[in-house]
Amino acid sequence: MDAMRILMDEHQSLAAIIHAIRHMIGEIGAGRLQPDHKLLEAMVHYLDAYPEKRHHPKEDEFLFGPLRARTHDADAVLDKLDAEHADAEARIAVLEAAVKAYAQDPKGFEAFKTAFEDYAAFYRTHMMTEEREVLPLIRKHFTAEDWEKANAGFIADDPLGGTRATARAGEEDFAQIFSKLVAAAPAPIGLGAGPYKAG
C-alpha cells in the first residue's frame, strides 16, 4: 500500500515541522533563543507550499474521492475534511500575516505564538481524523483497482521520497527544503547548524 505509506510519511514530516516551530517559539518566549525570522518564515512557507498545495489535493483525488464512490459511510467525515481543505488559503494567510508582523515588531510575538498554536492544534486534529476515521474505511472499501490508482498517484507525486527523476520547472524540492529546515532548527529538534540559508 504505497499510498498509505507515503501519506503517513507526509503526515510525519508535517508533524516534525510543526513540532520544530513550537519548540522554537517556546525557546524564544523563554528567552533562551534569539528569533531567526527567515527560518520561521521559511517554515510557514513550507506549511503552505507542501501540505496545503500538494498533500491535500492528492488525498482528495486518490483517496477521498474514490472512497465516496464506494460507500456513504464516510460522507460526514469527508464533508468535514473537504471543508477544512477548502479553508487552507485563509488558514495560511493568518499565519503568514502573524509571522511577518512579528518580524517587523518584537511585540508581535504573542500574536504569532497564538496563531501558530491555533494552526498546530487544528492540524493535529485534522490528521488524527484522517488516520483514525477515514483510513480504516479506505482499507475496508477500496478495491484492487482503487489501490492501484491510489498507489500510482502517490508514487508519481511523492515530493519527500525523491521518486521523481527531476522536479518540474518552478517546482520546489520539498525533501531538500525539509532537510534544510530541520538542520537549521536548534537542538534538540534539529542540528542547530546555523542561520537558515534559502536556495
- The SS3 call for residue 189 is coil
Centroid of chain to Cα 114:
18
pLDDT of 29 over the 60 cut? yes
DSSP H stretches of helix in 31-131: 37-47, 56-59, 65-70, 75-86, 88-104, 109-129
In sequence order, the 6+-apart residues with CB closer than 8 A to the CB of 164 are 156, 157, 158
CATH class held by domain 2-184: mainly alpha
pLDDT band for position 145 (50/70/90)?
Answer: very high
pTM greater than 0.75 (yes/no): yes
pLDDT digits (tens, 9 = 90+) for 78-111: 999 999 988 888 989 999 999 999 999 999 999 9
